Amino acid sequence: MADKLLEVNHLTTSFKIDGKYYPAVDDVSISIKPNEVLALVGESGSGKSATAFSLMGLHKHARIEGEVLFKGENIINYNENKMNKIRGGEMAMVFQDPMTALNPLMKIKKQIIETLEIHGTKKKGEREAYAVELLDRVGIPRPERVAESFPHELSGGMRQRVVIAIAIANRPRLLIADEPTTALDVTIQAQILDLIRELQDDLNSGVLLITHDLGVVAEMADRVAVMYAGQIVEIAPAKELFKNPKHPYTRSLLNSLPTEDMLGDKLHVIQGVVPPLNKMDRDGCRFAPRIPWIDESEHEHQPELREISPGHHVRCTCYKNFFLESAEDALETTKEVEAAQFAASGEGGSGS
Ligand SMILES: Nc1ncnc2c1ncn2[C@@H]1O[C@H](COP(=O)(O)OP(=O)(O)OP(=O)(O)O)[C@@H](O)[C@H]1O
């Protein structure tokens, strides 16, 4: 346990809908070591943000069960007072939309100084200079000037850098980044990811990176947890997951799952969406409705995560029905099929 910064055991977060509680995060167990990036991936509605918010104690009206061990101590029942001491300090979060994290009426400098004050970082007289130093550190040009600005005076990329400056101000041991680059263009996105990696190395921090962008995952993650309908359906070292994805949902996310009606056809993502919490069938494999061509008998009644090779866990036996081409090979196949379709359409005939 000593080497685990965060250990989450059986986390279950339920929201009340029409007087009844429904789990959005359903028995999730994950862990993060110092200097490790764990990516949490899944479609919209799969429960990624609810997981992150639960870890940070930000769901006020939810029912939260399980264990969240941060540096060995269970923080799940911490009151606001105790949580405020670690939130923004040893545990920090970067949200998708920097505008929701920043106070629109307060100068950037003041917002950074405020977080330093709360956690008693630096002496009073040093905080202003340190705020500017932090802005400089996250690559903000003319940091003295930006320090005097209000959030609306900055671009989206600059605002996200400010949010990261605030997140790292108290040298967090754990950084939770919820879609930190989704709202940004590709160049800025790469810079922000570089920044997170640099900080992680520098502070030896663990990072929980929530994203639906598998390109980001491939670049950043040491391990990947795939979430569907509130459950982790697969978890593996990143290289292993990309090379050898097992669960049909993972393969669908990787756009590499051949379905029965598409032999010789273009590979595509499985249709459908994550069902709403109060409409979800919680018995059996939750992904079964989206792969109706797989016989019911191929699914487990109560699918559990099972380790199939060191560090690689998969839920439900239904994955065994899929042709296990590696994701890399599948991408090649996709390209070949697309090239053949392009040529057959006649458009490829003109040459280039
Ligand atoms: N405060 C809430 N009250 C009721 N239901 C909620 C609440 N927050 C989230 N949910 C529901 O919980 C489920 C998981 O939502 P969550 O936001 O965690 O998904 P997500 O994977 O992070 O999606 P996205 O990528 O769109 O943020 C969804 O069905 C969502 O509607």
Digitized pLDDT (tens) for each residue of the chain, 352 residues in all:
448 999 999 999 999 999 999 999 999 999 999 999 999 999 889 999 999 999 999 998 899 999 999 999 999 999 999 999 999 999 999 988 888 889 999 999 999 999 999 999 999 999 999 999 999 988 899 999 999 999 999 998 899 899 999 999 999 999 999 988 877 778 878 888 888 888 888 889 999 999 988 888 988 999 999 999 999 999 999 999 999 999 999 988 887 444 444 444 444 457 788 999 999 988 999 999 988 888 889 999 999 999 999 999 999 999 888 765 555 555 555 555 556 656 666 654 433 3
Host domain of residue 18: 6-221
Same domain for 151 and 33, yes or no, is yes
Do 250 and 207 sit in the same domain of this protein? no
Q: Which of 221, 246, 263 is the last residue of a domain?
A: 221
Residue by residue, DSSP assigns 30-77 as: EEE-TT-EEEEE--TTSSHHHHHHHHTT--SSSEEEEEEEETTEE-TT
Asked whether residue 72 is assigned to any structural domain, the reply reads: yes
User: Ligand 1 centre from 224 Cα, in Å?
Assistant: 20
b/e burial code for range 179-199 (CB count within 10 A of at least 16 → b): bbbebbeeebbebbbebbeeb
Task: Tell me the H-state helices in 76-155.
Answer: 80-86, 98-101, 108-118, 127-137, 143-147
C-alpha of residue 212 to centroid of ligand 1, in Å:
14
21 close to ligand 1 (CB < 6 Angstrom): no
23 lines ligand 1 (CB under 6 A): no
| Domain edge (last residue) among 200, 221, 242 | 221
**pTM for the complete prediction?**
0.87
> Which mutation among 15, 25, 182 tests ligand 1's pocket best, with the greatest number of atoms within 8 A of CB?
15
* Pair of tokens at residue 279: 């409409």
Q: Is 277 in the pocket of ligand 1 (CB under 6 A)?
A: yes
User: Do 299 and 166 share a domain, yes or no?
Assistant: no
Domain count, the chain: 2
What local confidence, expressed as pLDDT, does residue 194 receive? 87
**What's the pLDDT score for residue 21?**
96
Q: Is 350 a domain residue?
A: no
Identity of the amino acid at 322: F
Q: Which of 221, 247, 275 is where one domain is finished?
A: 221
**Ligand 1: centre distance to CA 49 (Å):** 7
Q: Quick one: pLDDT at residue 97? A: 81
Ligand 1 touching residue 64 (CB < 6 A): no
- Atom index in ligand 1 nearest the CA of residue 52 equals 18
Please check whether residue 351 lies inside any domain of the structure. no
Q: Tell me, what's the ipTM?
A: 0.97
For residues 176 and 42, membership in a common domain is answered with yes
251 falls within a domain: yes
Residue to substitute in 28, 49, 209, 213 for testing ligand 1 pocket (most ligand atoms within 8 angstroms of CB) = 49
Residue located nearest, by CA, to atom 4 of ligand 1: 15
Q: Please indicate whether residue 46, judged by its CB atom, sits closer than 6 Å to ligand 1.
A: yes
* Per-residue tokens: 84: 């405020």
Cα separation, 266 vs 342, whole angstroms: 11
Ligand 1 midpoint to CA 44 (Å): 8
| 254 found inside a domain | yes
State whether 106 and 133 are in the same domain.
yes
**Residue 28, strand partner residues:** 11
pLDDT at residue number 190: 84
Q: For strand 63-70 and strand 6-17, is the pairing parallel, antiparallel, or unpaired?
A: antiparallel
CATH number of domain containing 275: 3.40.50.300
178 vs 213, 279, 322, CA distance in Å? 12, 26, 31
Which of 95, 277, 280, 286 is the best mutation target for the ligand 1 pocket, counting ligand atoms within 8 Å of the beta carbon and taking the most?
Answer: 277
Q: CA-CA distance, 226 to 320, in Å (whole number)? A: 18
- Is the CB of residue 78 below 6 angstroms from any atom belonging to ligand 1? no
List Cβ neighbours of 156 (8 Å cut-off, separation of 6 or more).
98, 183, 184, 188
Query: Is there a contact between 154 and 102 (Cβ–Cβ < 8 Å)?
Result: no
- C-beta pairs of 279-284 under 8 Å, 24+ apart in sequence: 280/22, 280/229, 280/230, 282/26
**Is residue 1 assigned to a domain?**
no
**Is residue 325 located within the same domain as residue 207?**
no
Q: Indicate whether 352 belongs to any domain.
A: no
**Same domain membership, residue 261 and residue 191:** no
> Ligand 1, atom 6: nearest CA belongs to which residue?
15
Residues in contact with 160: Cβ distance below 8 Å, sequence separation at least 6, in sequence order? 94, 98, 180, 181, 183, 184, 188, 192
Residue 256 inside a domain? The answer is yes
Q: Is the CB of 50 under 6 A from ligand 1?
A: yes
Residue 339: CB partners within 8 Å, gap ≥ 6? Answer: 348
* Structure tokens that stand for 278 in this block: 């109060």
Closest CA to 166 of 222, 215, 255, 100: 100
